[in-house]
Structure 1
Amino acid sequence: MSFDRSLRRFGFVSGLITLTLLASCQVRPLYSEASGTGERLASVGFEQPHSRIDQVVRNHLIFLTSGGAGESAHPAYDVKLTTKSTASSIIDDEDDDNVSPTGIPLPGRVQVEGTYTITRINDGQILKSAKREVVSLIDVPGQGFAKLRAVRDAENRAARELAEFIRAEIAIVLSREPQPQTVWQK
């Protein structure tokens, strides 16, 4: 009988510990209505672009943060963004055209690097500053225009992916912002 009683106690205690651990878990949806992250994302403003890649990333960020409604008229947060793009061949050849003698396109890569800073406008506090990079692979063809177009298409793909990463990081930062206090008046 004592073994059966100790087994029940062990089961009860282990169940209690498991419930305590599960109750202390702080996992919650990033875009939940209770956290107000969606509203905060819609109140983000973006600096004017300085290059074509800046423009692609900025446009995609505006679409992602506002849900297609456009940029906020009165932003509460400001994002400063600078990007740069580099294209290179994966295979190091001496010839500059990056095309094999048989005319088969050679593999290449386009790297888009973005540096951004999220600032709260009302007090000027920097909430996060980070640098992210995305690589997009391409086949570099022998024709000049096709090569330029392949690089531009890869830049666009990488810029959109970079915008997705930045939007996720903005959402994480804004979800940690304190909720505005509601003042009830009679």
Structure 2
Amino acid sequence: MSWSRMAAAAAALVFASGLSGCFTPLYSESAHPGLVEDMRAIEVTPIPSRIGHYLVEDLIADINGTGQTASPTKYRLAVKISTGVQTPTVNSEINVASSATVTGDADYTLTKVDGGAEVVKGTANAAAAYDRTTQRYADLRAARDAEIRLARALSQEISLRLASALAAKTP
């Protein structure tokens, strides 16, 4: 490697490291003081059904990062989920769907615990596809894995929207 290339690489490295301090995460504590505290102070209410269980667990992990509910809660998150299954393709030989898509809509409402005032309300949508076979157990397991992926996608969307709403509120 020539000296000019090494000098150019070193200059690029120095320039990049000088700019690295200029970028901060969108929802970081330095950009939005108190956001991490507010996120950790959200209580997630139980959601019925198996996919609701997965969604609650993912939301708790995404929202506060510890996997545990905060002791002094400021907010309460209520979620109602509706799911469906679509089978876009059917095998013409055996007349069975060869794939399926689990879809989910999660209506969420974040309210303050002390006064019950609504902070943010919305609907998150997601979908997860899976292959179907003639083996029943394989189909059940694939459907369950798709539900787990669906819950994860809904959790990420909801937690991002909550962080955005709480970051936008005035202190």
Q: Same fold (TM over 0.5)?
A: yes
- Verify: 1:33 aligned to 2:30, yes or no: yes
Please say if residues 119 and 128 of structure 1, whose CA atoms lie closer than 8 Å, have aligned partners that are also in contact.
yes
1:176 partnered with 2:168: yes
User: Unaligned 5+ residue runs, structure 1?
Assistant: 1-26, 100-105, 180-186
Determine helix, strand or coil for the equivalent of 1:39: helix
Q: Is the 8 A contact 1:89 1:98 kept in 2?
A: no
Equivalent residue pairs, number: 147
Cα distance change of structure 1 residues 161 and 77 upon mapping to structure 2, 3 Å threshold: same
Aligned equivalent of 1:145, options 127, 130, 137: 137
User: Normalising to structure 2: TM-score of the pair?
Assistant: 0.77
1:76-155, aligned counterparts within 5 Å? 76-91=74-89, 98-99=96-97, 106-155=98-147
Q: What amino acid maps onto 1:120 in structure 2? A: K
Report the RMSD for the aligned CA atoms in angstroms: 2.2
Q: Is the 8 A contact 2:75 2:111 kept in 1?
A: yes
Alpha-carbon deviation of 1:130?
Answer: 0.9
CA shift, 1:108, in A, is: 1.6
Decide whether aligned partners of structure 1 residues 51 and 95 sit closer, same or farther in structure 2, where only a CA change above 3 A counts: farther
> Which has more radius of gyration?
1
Name the residue aligned to 1:61: 59
Q: Deviations over 1:96-128 (max 9, x none)?
A: 9625xxxxxx12211122111010122211111
Point out where structure 2 has 5 or more consecutive residues left out of the alignment.
Answer: 1-23
Q: TM-score, normalised by structure 1?
A: 0.71
* Sequence identity (%): 22
Q: Distance in 1 between matches of 2:28 and 2:94?
A: 48
Structure 1 CA distance, aligned partners of 2:38 and 2:94?
A: 48
1:38 shift after superposition = 0.8
Aligned to 1:72: 70
- Mapped partners of 1:95, 1:51: distance in 2: 35
Deviation at 1:143, TM superposition (A): 1.1
Distance 1:171 1:93, change over 3 A: same
Which amino acid in 1 is paired with 2:42? V
